[in-house]
Chain A
Amino acid sequence: MTRRTPIATGSDWNFDVLERYERAIAALADEYRLDTYPNQIEIITSEQMMDAYSSVGMPIGYHHWSFGKQFLSVEQAYRRGQMGLAYELVINSDPCIAYLMEENSLMMQVLVIAHACYGHNSFFKGNYLFKAWTDASAIVDYLDFARKYIDKCEERHGVEAVEQLLDACHALQNYGVDRYKRPSPISAEAESQRQAEREAYLQTQINTLWSTIPIAGGQMPILVAHDDENDPLGLHRHGRYPSEPQENLLYFLEKNAPLLEPWQREVVRIVRKLAQYFYPQRQTQVMNEGWATFWHYTLMNRMYEDGLIDEGVMIEFLQSHTAVVSQPGFDSPYFNGINPYALGFAMFSDIRRVCEAPTGEDREWFPDIAGSDWLETLHFAMQNFKDESFIQQFLSPKVIRDLKLFSLVDDDRDDSLQVEAIHDDRGYRRIREALSVQYALSAREPNIQVWEADIRGDRSLTLRHVQDRRRPLAQTLFPVMRHLHQLWGFPIRLESLDGGEVVRRYEWPIPDPARDSA
């Protein structure tokens, strides 16, 4: 390989140099078959970065105080020097928008281009979750639609009314996704076209559902009665509504909440659609960061080998890279959970190692991939997994040993913690299992579904929480239920189930103590 002269040296950058590096990286990325959306690389100031930060990186967003709160805390941390701003921010859109801060040195800019514009970008385009859940080409338009729509609502109904509604929706935004159904892609144009139509249609549906005008039998619904003795005429034998439990609370509210105005339903829908857009990101943190880190590392090294960057830049890069992938131990004062960059980078590097230079252990553990084409295998891993399954599939004993992972059982029936497994032959599988569960969204968020809307009775809405290993709900559930109550308009009940039995009941508004039995 012929060594070329570096494109630039030193730490200053200009657009010309960046463009030349970008072309060089693009050529290398092509060699590694990284398939990306076109890149739109934007140079911004640190203030603009703070703005971008506080709106979850979205280039346009509707107004809400919580983003202001986010901004103030970012600003405070930045001013005090507690936190450096992220060097980059990248948005899953087509073209893929990446922000580069002007303060970055040349090395940082090149690193960020490799990391964001080729690493994250190819992940967004290739991973199955992103493919199924997000429509990169439509997101910016949709955000624009959302902002304009909410602006219009504020104009018509007042800032405060919209704010309260958004507060309530935000509290439930993690429950705004259909996990098992592929959603229809969001598109701004169609959205605004159909929006008025939908408003009218939805309202007629709700009206039918909640109609109290007697239907065929001529029976008026009467108040709660569940026993047959109390309901000899079988007025309540129509079964529950909804007949199946609903996991998508926001969707259920949008379609069924009896008192919401059409515009309010549309706002619920907006929050739901945006939550859906972020849903894959929440499940692929380790993979996404690991993939991007693996590629910036590989690409930077290639550029160094090809002589495109000099030793100075390389040393600066290695220092920065080492900081990014460092994993402090659990007892370190810097410990803040498992660093997704560290774990993801270690795993992707390890997959390459298993492919290129497998040991006996690897052949035993990964017979399928040991000795296979590493690039092929890496792309396969990136495309077809999420954190949970990725760890389950690819966490190797070597990575467990390198990170010295151990698992600890914290059981409230036990007065001490117990070390369940460590990095030894007996422990590998159990650690892998436990870590995989730790990244499963279903274990991180309480499992709560709509159980019954009492449409023939007091119109209360009953939710069911299925406890995961006896873990109860945190106290935050009361404010959430209050928000839920605002949306639904009638009493909210929540039942916590463990092993099929209701172990706790909650109600909002908090019922009369005289009546309360749970």
Chain B
Amino acid sequence: MSYFIDRRPNARNKSAVNRQRFLQRYRSHIKRAVEESVNRRSITDIERGEKVSIPARDITEPSFQHGQGGRRTIVSPGNKEFAEGDRIRRPGGSGSGGSGEGQASNQGEGVDEFAFTLSREEFLDFVFDGLELPHLERKQLKSMEETRPVRAGISREGVPARINIVRSMREAQARRIGMRAPLKRALREAQAALENEERKDPVLRNPARIETLKEEIERLEKRIAAIPFLDTFDLRYNHLSHQPMPSNQAVMFCVMDVSGSMTQAHKDIGKRFFLLLYLFLERNYERVELVFVRHHTVAKEVDEEEFFYSRETGGTIVSSALSLVDELIDARYSPQLWNLYVAQASDGDNWDDDSSTCMALLQESLMPKLQYFTYVEITPHAHQALWTAYETIRAGHPDRFAMQQIVQAEDIYPVFRKLFSQRTTT
């Protein structure tokens, strides 16, 4: 007796729980591997899942086993040339005979690393583990531009599609009971009176009164029958009210210096930084828009391709970019509607007089609108005027403004972690 069952439609991922348990248990190992790989990988790869290896010896499940040594007899197939009594030199070291006999040698097949693949989600979880976005607040809108229909009780008006049947029937029943009650009472009284009258001696009866009572009874019965089962004013509708939705969107301004002093290597580092920030924002907001602003002495809004790859030369005026960002915010991204982030990368050069302009611009105009401003300076050299100016701003907005120096590509991830590490401890 046999039967076939098609299990294919059944749930997959029966092992999901076990998988998560494993990842949880070796969290620190995996995190280390992920950190290494973030630094190693090219930037476009970061979005994919990642192959991770952790040392196999850390995750073995121990059991009692035979060790090396003693006397063993191993039977193997495929003898070609040996005769009884032949002596063979031990292959490498004492008795590492890879005969596959016993568990010890099976497991010791030189697998030092336990490799597996993390999904993209799992990978990013590890990348951004322990980081938080400062001032992540859902902006409440005053204008009703983005709303969401929410059930808000019951109303007497509405469209037929939203009739609440239970409530309508309940209303109808209440009305029927309410309207019938006085009529029924009157009817009962009339009937009692009629009966009373009819029980009297025929001589004493008042035929006129009997007539009136009969008419009355008939009239009341008609009225009772005329009470409608369901009336228009019984109808109740589900009411939907339009609630303003908290804004779940962010815009990220990538600001980069493309003056002559910025080499391609600088830009690459900048790009990695922007990408990390973008991925991070993307996990916190439903929608993230990117605006690329590059500048030398003049700032310009460009597309991604141009932002990273076009070549420019010239001096550097940082304030040009900041004022452009300010204009763009005013024109397109109202702080009421958007969570605003600015990430700036530069090698620290600036026109001497400009740094104070930048400071004023930031202090007065930009900072109040922004959620967060991050500045990374990609330079091995000493800081210049811009850094000093920004330090003043940081002092004024310690939790909305962050700046770090990056010397080489390996620093990006640690710096990124420093910028966004959870502040609960401090």
Contact = CB atoms under 8 A, between A and B. Distances in A.
Most chain B Cβ neighbours within 10 Å, of A50, A336, A412: A412
Contacts of B98: 335
Contacts of B14: 48, 51, 55
A117 interface: yes
A205 interface: no
Interface stretch (B38-46, B77-85, B225-233): B77-85
Interface in B81-124: 82-90, 94-95, 97-104, 106, 114-117
Given A44-B8, A410-B74, A117 B2 contact: yes
Contact of B73 (A40, A409, A467): A409
Interface in B16-49: 17-25
Most chain A Cβ neighbours within 10 Å, of B65, B80, B90, B104: B65
Interface string A52-81: 001100000001111111111101100100
B67 A42 contact: no
Given A337-B101, A412-B94, A437 B73 contact: yes
A69 B22 contact: yes
Interface string B48-72: 0001000000011111111111111
A474 B5 contact: no
Contact of A72 (B22, B66, B78): B22
Contact of B61 (A63, A75, A171, A331): A171
A65 B18 contact: yes
Contacts of B62: 171, 476-480, 483
A72 B19 contact: yes
B5 to A, nearest CB: 5
Nearest to B108: A474
A140 interface: no
B340 to A, nearest CB: 41
A51 B22 contact: no
Nearest to B118: A72
B382 to A, nearest CB: 48
Nearest to B116: A72
A516 to B, nearest CB: 20
A19 B4 contact: yes
B310 interface: no
Contacts of A322: none
A243 interface: no
A281 B137 CA distance: 59
A475 B60 CA distance: 12
Give the bracket for the number of chain A residues in contact with chain B.
35 or more
Interface string A152-169: 000000010001000100
Contact of A174 (B63, B67, B71, B72): B63
Interface residues of B, number: 69
A276 B302 CA distance: 69
A338 B100 contact: yes
Contact of A408 (B3, B13, B73, B100): B73
Contact of B90 (A55, A407, A416, A437): A416
A62 B24 CA distance: 17
B2 A338 contact: no
B94 to A, nearest CB: 6
B145 interface: no
A330 interface: yes
B12 interface: yes
B208 interface: no
Nearest to A415: B90
Interface in A394-414: 403-413
A427 B4 contact: no
A103 B101 CA distance: 33
A417 B92 CA distance: 12
B100 A337 contact: yes
Given A47-B13, A48-B8, A472-B70, A39 B64 contact: no
Contacts of B84: 419-422, 424, 426-427
Contacts of A426: 84
A38 B75 contact: no
A430 to B, nearest CB: 9
A75 B19 CA distance: 11
B10 interface: yes
Nearest to B18: A68
Interface in A462-518: 465, 467-480, 483
A138 interface: no
Interface string B303-339: 0000000000000000000000000000000000000
B314 to A, nearest CB: 50
Contacts of B116: 72-73, 75-76
Nearest to A37: B1
B12 A472 contact: no
Contacts of A327: 77-78
A453 to B, nearest CB: 19
Contacts of A418: 85-88
Contacts of A47: 12-13
Contact of B72 (A26, A163, A471, A483): A471
Contacts of B4: 15, 18-19, 22, 41-43
A226 to B, nearest CB: 27
Interface stretch (A187-195, A214-222, A301-309, A442-450): A442-450
A428 to B, nearest CB: 12
A41 B5 contact: yes
A329 interface: yes
A332 interface: yes
Contact of B75 (A48, A99, A407): A407
Contacts of B60: 476
Given A48-B12, A472-B69, A479-B62, A68 B5 contact: no
Interface in A131-173: 159, 163, 167, 170-173
B10 A48 contact: yes
15 contacts: A38-B3, A40-B5, A63-B17, A76-B116, A76-B117, A331-B78, A338-B77, A408-B97, A410-B72, A412-B68, A416-B89, A418-B87, A444-B102, A445-B65, A469-B71
Given A41-B5, A405-B79, A434-B73, 20 more contacts: A26-B2, A50-B15, A55-B18, A64-B21, A65-B18, A65-B22, A72-B22, A117-B2, A170-B61, A174-B63, A327-B78, A337-B106, A338-B77, A406-B79, A408-B97, A419-B88, A422-B84, A445-B66, A474-B67, A478-B62
Interface of A: 15, 18-19, 22, 26, 38-45, 47-48, 50-51, 54-55, 63-73, 75-76, 79, 99, 102, 117, 159, 163, 167, 170-175, 327-332, 335-338, 403-413, 415-424, 426-427, 431, 434-435, 437-438, 444-446, 448, 465, 467-480, 483
